[in-house]
Structure 1
Amino acid sequence: MVSSKYSALSLTLLMTTLVLPAAFADETISDEALDARIARAKSAAPPSISGDATIVVDGKTVVEGSNGWTCMPDTFPGDNIPMCNDAIWMEMLGAMGNKQDFEPKSIGISYMLQGDEGAGVSNSDPYHPDHKNAEDYVETGPHLMIIVPRAMLKGITDDPSSGGPYVMWKDTPYAHIMVPVEDL
């Protein structure tokens, strides 16, 4: 019988192999293309944040940061919408990606200073099968997103047309405040 230590190691290696993005598994990315993706990732937040952030491209850390922030050139694979997240946001995205509950214990912040034009989402359902055809489809220009403990969301509208901050995904474990900083 194989020990649990080796079984766990085998499972970890198998999972790493299965989730390694195709861009790094089957082909190499040119230095110029990688530099462009890094610049795109950094464009999501002010240089004071993105300048020392960890940069993740296609699921692989390509720049090891020092300030606790993580920037990516794509919010979801291939959407070309960059974001920079603190540790709380990264934890929430991990929970969301695995359809697990998430209860924030503190405030989390994400920057999307390039907005999400063209790849908006359902304002109520992060798993909507066809976001662009959702009744509550919304696109937001440059914005911040703030995760707070759920009790702090009371009294904040979930209407994206209210002209100010609003709650996205209100009745889900991934509820957060959208803070537009510029109109589309």
Structure 2
Amino acid sequence: MAKPMSDAQMIASAMRAAPANVGRHATIMAMDAQGKMRTLRQGTNGFTCIPDAPATPGNDPMCADKAAMGWVNAWLTHTTPPSGKVGLMYMLEGGTDASNTDPYAKQPKGEHWIKTGPHVMVVGADAAFYDQYPKQADPDTGAPYVMWAGTPYQHLMAPIR
């Protein structure tokens, strides 16, 4: 098992999720041992960055605006995301997910984790917005696609290359 990161290491990891000027001024939060979020550093720009999730095989810190953090909170608490609040999330170090269809999968059901390179995510948009993008269970991660389609947590994954 990997050694837990120090607060300084978690702050550095979280900041790498977003463009430098966003990460530099963002609030940095991390999950404690009881699964509750704790603030490591207060920010000033309305973004919140979270360090790498050690339970996934890839490096996947993320940074989200206020609306996207409402969506993240809903996903973490298994509640309905706020309606009418479109949010933006950065994952500039990429990410790994166990499933493109199940928001709560802990391990892949198929042969592999879904690996997406650097990308941004659009969350909380109207369902019609997502209808214009592919929704396959095993997506082409080199082009925009919808993750967790048909669930309250569907969102657009848009690669940045």
Fold conserved (TM > 0.5)? Answer: yes
Distance 1:144 1:162, change over 3 A: closer
Q: CA deviation at 1:94?
A: 1.1
Q: 2:98: which partner in 1? A: 121
The share of aligned pairs that are identical, in percent, is: 37
Deviation at 1:127, TM superposition (A): 1.6
Residues 163 and 57 (structure 1 numbering): CA distance in 2 closer, same or farther, change over 3 Å? closer
Question: For residues 125 and 90 of structure 1, do their structure 2 counterparts lie closer, same or farther at Cα, with a shift above 3 Å needed?
Answer: same
- Residues 134 and 93 of structure 1: is their aligned pair in 2 closer, same or farther, counting only changes over 3 Å? farther
What does residue 75 of structure 2 align with?
Answer: 96
Q: Which of these residues, 111, 134, 139, is aligned with residue 115 of structure 2?
A: 139
Is 1:105–2:84 an aligned residue pair?
yes
Deviations 1:83-112 (A, max 9, x none): 001111111111111211225413211101
**Residues 118, 159 of structure 2: 8 Å contact kept:** yes
Task: With the length of structure 2 as denominator, give the TM-score of the two structures.
Answer: 0.81
Q: Give the Cα–Cα distance (whole angstroms) in 2 for the partners of residues 43 and 124 of structure 1.
A: 27
The CA deviation at 1:51 is 1.1
Tell me which protein shows more strand as a share of its residues: 2
- For residue 34 of structure 2, what is the aligned residue in structure 1? none
Structure 2: 5+ residue stretches without partners: 32-36
| Residues in 2 aligned to 1:42 and 1:133: alpha-carbon distance in whole angstroms | 31
User: Radius of gyration: which is bigger?
Assistant: 1
Partner Cα separation in structure 2 for residue 169 and residue 158 of structure 1 = 8
Question: Which of these residues, 12, 15, 35, is aligned with residue 42 of structure 1?
Answer: 15
Q: Which runs of 4+ in 1 moved over 6 A?
A: none
SS of 1:122's equivalent in the other structure is coil
- The normalised TM-score by structure 1 is 0.72
- Which of 135, 144, 153 is residue 158 of structure 1 equivalent to? 135
Number of aligned positions between the proteins: 148
Q: Which has the higher contact order (CA 8 A, sep 6+)?
A: 2
The one-letter code matched in structure 1 to 2:39 is T
Cα drift, residue 157 of structure 1: 1.1
Residue 19 (structure 2) pairs with residue 56 (structure 1): no
Please give the alpha-carbon distance, in whole angstroms, between the structure 1 residues aligned to 2:101 and 2:157.
Answer: 13
Q: Which amino acid aligns with 1:120?
A: D
**Which stretch shows the higher mean deviation, 36-45 or 145-154?**
145-154
